[in-house]
Structure 1
Amino acid sequence: MNLGRRERVRAATIMEITETARRLLVQEGSEAVTLRAIAREMGMTAPALYRYFPSHGQLLRHVVGDLFNDLTDALHSGLHAAPEHDMAAKFRAACREFRTWAHDHRREYALLFGTPLPGFGQEEQEDFASECGRRFGLTFLELFQELWAKLPFPVPADAEIDDDVREQLAAYRDRLGLDLPLGCILVFLQCWVRLHGAVSLEVFGHLDFALTDPEPFFELMLREVGERLGLDMTNPA
């Protein structure tokens, strides 16, 4: 679709605002990402920014969406580089890309997965950020579904799952519109918790008390999770 001059200028300004906010985040930390600081960097007035983002919270949500897209694109690049029919290679690629992006973008990762900024996340809304967040989540979920379809692995039966957990899993499955056993949903969440937890502990420095090089520890976790999913993890490449 061809945009008119006014729309092109507006789109370019929104992109510049987002890039400026991200640069401030990386260089100075989350506290520096204010409308006044962004306006100063761009040679604008803070009130002028309200023509593009009605609130500081909405600006941050746009930055979050941009970061989720950046991370998701990195995951897709890793997946596309792996052999199409080698599920173990695709699993390793996605998990390693997630860890690599987190280490290369620590402050961005903290904004996405750490403590939310003051006032951020208080409004539940369907917007750019939530759409991009779903795109990120679907990357791992679709990989998991592909694995389940091609190489089904053992999962607990519904009756083996505690009632309070089973009800939550069923509600989560319904929200996603999935046709998967509850035991499969449970294993998916357990695997995500291990991956996310391992990467977050590394990025936030909470393994420094024991490890000077956490990468081999991460690879050990990756092998254990892969084997839990029935993958052949004997080839570490």
Structure 2
Amino acid sequence: MSGAGSERRQGRNVRGQGERLRGTILAAVGRLLGEWGSAEKLTMRAVAKEAGISAPSIYLHFPDKAALVWAALADEYAELARRLAEAGASGTGGDPRARLRAQAHAYLRYAAEYPGQYRLMFETPQPHVGPARITGHPAGRVSAAFRAAFRACEEAGHRLSVPLPQAAQTLWAGLHGLISLDHSIFGDESTEEMNRSLAEGLADSLVAPEPGPAPAFRSAPAGTPASRRISQLIAAGDEEEPKAAPDA
């Protein structure tokens, strides 16, 4: 009996040690990304040195650099998705278009409050992976939040101007474009009100103001390899897609 108990305790200790090591590794990655502002110089050896461990021990938890970067930023993507879902559920009554606009505002607000994190998440190159793997990117949670909001508009009878996945990608890309212009051109100029207005206009252009019959969309072309990769990315996160707030 005591032997079995000892084995169970040993198993728990091993798991606990593994979790601590994983946390140590991710903390080291976070510090390096924060210091460098990019994943370009990140290597297993650099992470091991920062964490005070051997490089081979990293491979017990992460197979490659992409897995390291994604895991280190996963909480940030999850937090942004949580804020989007929360914005869509609070204080906007039964109008799904108003909830969509609230989500657009929340996205801009996150980027303004955490510009460093936003740049790491969306403006610095990340390790390249194949098309099959891109569906596991944690940014899929953000796309899922937008898709849930557009789906709520459809379910309330509002026509979308383009198919739902394209609407979600268009809004996401438009919001990101506003933020990138701020970071690269406008700098410290106050563009908050302008960006909010542009974001609302973009969201409204994608959803009909009044319920009505759905349009017959033309069949989408097969597209280029790049467009297919985008489609795979925005399809990520379906299993954890946030639920839109019900109509009041």
Aligned: 1:49 with 2:49: no
The superposition leaves residues 45-82 of structure 1 with CA deviations (integer Å, 9 ceiling, x where unpaired) of 22322222232232123224333223212222323333
The structural deviation recorded for 1:154 is 6.2
Indicate the residue corresponding to 1:60 in structure 2. Answer: 69
Secondary structure in 1 matching 2:19: helix
Candidates 198, 202, 213, aligned match of 2:178: 198
Candidates 129, 133, 151, aligned match of 1:122: 129
Is the 1:14–1:52 Cα contact (8 Å) retained in structure 2? yes
* Structure 1 pair 50–103 and aligned structure 2 pair: CA distance change class (3 A): same
- Written as runs of structure 1 = structure 2, the 5 A alignment for 1:95-134 is 95-117=104-126, 120-126=127-133, 130=136, 132-134=138-140
Indicate the residue corresponding to 2:232 in structure 1. Answer: none
Is the 1:25–1:32 Cα contact (8 Å) retained in structure 2? no
Is the 2:97–2:153 Cα contact (8 Å) retained in structure 1? no
- Written as runs of structure 1 = structure 2, the 5 A alignment for 1:29-48 is 29-30=37-38, 31=40, 33-48=42-57
Identity of aligned residues (%): 21
Indicate the residue corresponding to 1:220 in structure 2. Answer: 197
Question: Residue type of the partner of 1:59?
Answer: L
Q: Take 1:226 and 1:61, find their aligned partners in 2: how far apart are those partners?
A: 29
Candidates 16, 19, 22, aligned match of 1:8: 16
Q: Take 1:76 and 1:198, find their aligned partners in 2: how far apart are those partners?
A: 21
Is the 2:150–2:164 Cα contact (8 Å) retained in structure 1? no
How many residues are paired up?
A: 198
Is the 2:88–2:102 Cα contact (8 Å) retained in structure 1? yes
Compute the TM-score of the two structures, normalised by the length of structure 2: 0.66
Secondary structure in 1 matching 2:61: coil
**What RMSD over aligned residues (CA atoms) do the two structures have, in Å?**
3.0
Q: Which blocks of at least 5 consecutive residues in structure 1 are unaligned?
A: 156-181, 233-237
Compute the TM-score of the two structures, normalised by the length of structure 1: 0.69
Indicate the residue corresponding to 1:178 in structure 2. Answer: none
User: Is 137-146 or 94-103 further displaced after alignment?
Assistant: 94-103
Secondary structure in 2 matching 1:39: helix
